[in-house]
Structure 1
Amino acid sequence: MKQTLKLFFLLFQLLTFAFAQDHIYSQFYNAPSYLNPALNGQFDGDLRVNMIYRNQWTGVPGSLNYFTLSTEYNVPQFGGGFGLLVTNSSEGTAYLKKLNISGLYSYSIDFDNAVLSFGLQAGFTRRRIDYNKLLFADQIDPVTGIIPGAVTDASLPVLNNKYFFDAGTGVNFILGDFMIGASAQHINKPNESFTGLRSTLPVRVNAHTSYRINLDPYSDDGNSVLIPSLVYYSQAKESSVSAGFQYKYRSVNAGLWYRSQQGVKGDALVVSLIFDIFIRKDYYDKVRFGVSHDATLSKLQYGSTAGTTEAALNYETTFPGRGGVGERNNRRSSSKRCYDFY
């Protein structure tokens, strides 16, 4: 039995990493650095902190949980910003865990009514399986079920941790009320195999575009705005497209999205609701809270998966002594930034 279990886990690891894919957020606009490193530092404050949590298919056994934290420091004098991106995930009953910590740098070129941004991302990833939370045959009694406190005699793989360097890059362009960008992650194609055999992490390509439509032509503040967007993801042989819109009225933002996946007629319908709470408008301080829910449309069926829920919390602030609205408006051109599109 020991040899059988060992073979099983080796096959499990190979299959897992051969088809490994990154998760995607439905609230991509509340995880800008995860979507594209070129969006790092593209805001009007000094410091921005984004947090987002995704609980996918809550009705399916084996949790699929994802969390991303990003911290960005805006340095207009350098034409961009510096940031830190931390992403943690736990997938399936085998508790496949992944932790990535990356540094971010972006640089922007301003024009009269446009801005071109470039971004770099580099860091390290750790992947591991928590075998202590797995249940083996010798821990189960055929009559009474699970044996409390039983310790398995299965020979577990010795190599349980894998560390590797990971890098990405991106570009973003805004012209007037139009924004388009693209990014590539895992461009170094790191080897993430536990076994010593080569199993590369496929490059993930993201492309996104948005257009801002002012529904109140008599107001320059954008009190009523419609923002249609399109987001494309591709990794290995899988791809997906999210199409939809956000309607923003003052500090309330409601969104509706349809996501399709390659080979699937419909993957999910997404509904989102976001609230911006401005603390000091003269210093661009605000707190944003967002929540969204994915209703599964594929063959998995919503009744079986219970859908997917996301929650996001963002904070943006201006440091004392670094100027209010008047001074900050002189730091950059009048062109819009990515935050104007969500």
Structure 2
Amino acid sequence: MKTIKRLCVSVICVLAAGNLFAQDPLFTQFNFTPTYLNPSLAGTGRNNLRLSAVTKVQWFNLYKPYKYFSGGADLSIYDDYQRNILNLGLNVNHSSRGYLSNTGINGIVGRSFGTSNEDCSKWFLSLALQAGINFSRVNPDQFLFIDQLDQTGITGNASQVDLFKTFNSKSYFDFASGFVFTYSDFMLGGAVHHLNQPNASFNGKPEDGKIPRKVTGHLSYRYETQTLTIKPTVIGQVQGNTNVFTVGALIDYYEFPIEFGLWYRNAVGLANNNAFCVGVTWKWGEAKTVTSRTKEYSNRIGLSYDADIIRPGLNTTHGSLEFGIQKDVIINNNNYCPTSTTGICNYRFPWEFF
């Protein structure tokens, strides 16, 4: 009977597919998937090429836990004067929510700007556009409908319900844009996803599956002491009736290749879901970077845990777990400080806030 109840709950969740796909997944370790947060972060890594990936298992106690993945690569290209002329990015996202799955493949093109004086000033600007295609699918083979039950339980007969048998897949184009601006020790960014508000409905009715635009704003600060660097960040996201507010900080120690993260998230509209998040990142491979005169770690892996404290609660969900990995690669060893003709920069690159 427990299996029947769980399967029935799954059917109810699938019937609410429009609401599920109307809300984009949230990643606590956004630093391991920067272009998912904001496409304008493409080409703003420590070196010419950055490889990133993060995976998430949400709510272990569900019959089929939600699973998410985001991974990609971004590249910065410079001219003979070491000034940025083009940023490119590729991002692949996949989500599995019960019997619903979605895969998106996105390409990013952008450019970073600074001053062309002898020495760069304190500001840095990056703009980008993103275009991609998404593939959604629902698997009805494991559904359990009312005509497959009798007084003794499951009959084993095939259902005559034509739910999702005819329209069980969907593809659509999707577009986004963003900007990121740094000045001194501050970074401000913004992005709009689903600019065209694509129709993700399986039956093709726009009123059932129109994805609302997601508007993201984020603000970061970098504070340095003699022993550590504190990098607080505030992220606000609005999508349809859902407002998500995230605040926290990354704490980076100089003497140890370890970075800690502490976060609080309030998701109004998602049943007022509140969560505390903790994470740890291990770094290795200290080497030269093309965007600064200091040596930085070129490899990092991170693990984080989200504990839902209110609705649905930790006892119900058992929380969520994320694992991220990132690598920065030097392609052109002659590059120094893009947008500067002298190789001397006063501004901070976006990666310095993550």
1:231 alignment counterpart: 235
Return the alpha-carbon distance in structure 1 between the equivalents of residues 337 and 189 of structure 2. Answer: 25
Encode CA deviations 1:138-170: one digit per residue, 9 max, x unaligned: 5567547585xx654443431211111100000
Structure 1 alignment gaps of length 5 or more: 1-8, 217-222
TM-score (norm 1): 0.86
1:204 aligned onto 2:205? no
Contact map agreement 1:13 1:193 (CA 8 A) in 2 = no
Aligned-partner SS, 1:43: coil
Structure 2 alignment gaps of length 5 or more: 1-9, 116-120, 291-295
Return the alpha-carbon distance in structure 2 between the equivalents of residues 282 and 37 of structure 1. Answer: 22
Q: How does 1:60-99 map to 2 (within 5 A)?
A: 60-77=62-79, 78-92=84-98, 95-99=99-103
1:178 alignment counterpart: 186
Contact map agreement 2:14 2:100 (CA 8 A) in 1 = no
Counterpart of 2:264, as a letter, is: Y
**RMSD across aligned C-alpha pairs, in angstroms?**
2.5
1:267 is aligned, of 269, 274, 288, to 274
Counterpart of 1:242, as a letter, is: T
1:252 alignment counterpart: 258
Counterpart of 1:254, as a letter, is: F
Counterpart of 2:260, as a letter, is: A
Greater displacement, 131-140 / 44-53:
131-140
1:315 alignment counterpart: 327
Q: How does 1:133-152 map to 2 (within 5 A)?
A: 133-137=142-146, 143=152, 147=156, 151-152=158-159
Counterpart of 1:81, as a letter, is: N
Return the alpha-carbon distance in structure 2 between the equivalents of residues 163 and 249 of structure 1. Answer: 45
Residue 331 and residue 238 in structure 1: after superposition, are their counterparts in 2 closer, same or farther (change >3 A)?
closer
2:348 alignment counterpart: 336
Return the alpha-carbon distance in structure 2 between the equivalents of residues 330 and 230 of structure 1. Answer: 27
Return the alpha-carbon distance in structure 1 between the equivalents of residues 85 and 299 of structure 2. Answer: 25
Encode CA deviations 1:201-247: one digit per residue, 9 max, x unaligned: 1000111011000112xxxxxx6201111011110011011111111
Aligned-partner SS, 1:38: helix
Residue 196 and residue 13 in structure 1: after superposition, are their counterparts in 2 closer, same or farther (change >3 A)?
farther
Contact map agreement 1:67 1:87 (CA 8 A) in 2 = yes
1:108 is aligned, of 109, 112, 123, to 112
Aligned-partner SS, 2:40: helix
1:240 aligned onto 2:244? yes
2:225 alignment counterpart: 215
TM-score (norm 2): 0.83
Q: Work out the number of aligned pairs and report it.
A: 319
Contact map agreement 2:305 2:319 (CA 8 A) in 1 = yes
Greater displacement, 78-87 / 291-300:
78-87
Aligned-partner SS, 1:328: coil
Counterpart of 1:244, as a letter, is: G
Encode CA deviations 1:9-53: one digit per residue, 9 max, x unaligned: 999777421562111111112111000001001013121111100
Deviation at 1:136, TM superposition (A): 3.7
Deviation at 1:279, TM superposition (A): 5.3
Encode CA deviations 1:255-309: one digit per residue, 9 max, x unaligned: 1111112267760000010111115446767211011101111131111110011
1:127 aligned onto 2:136? yes
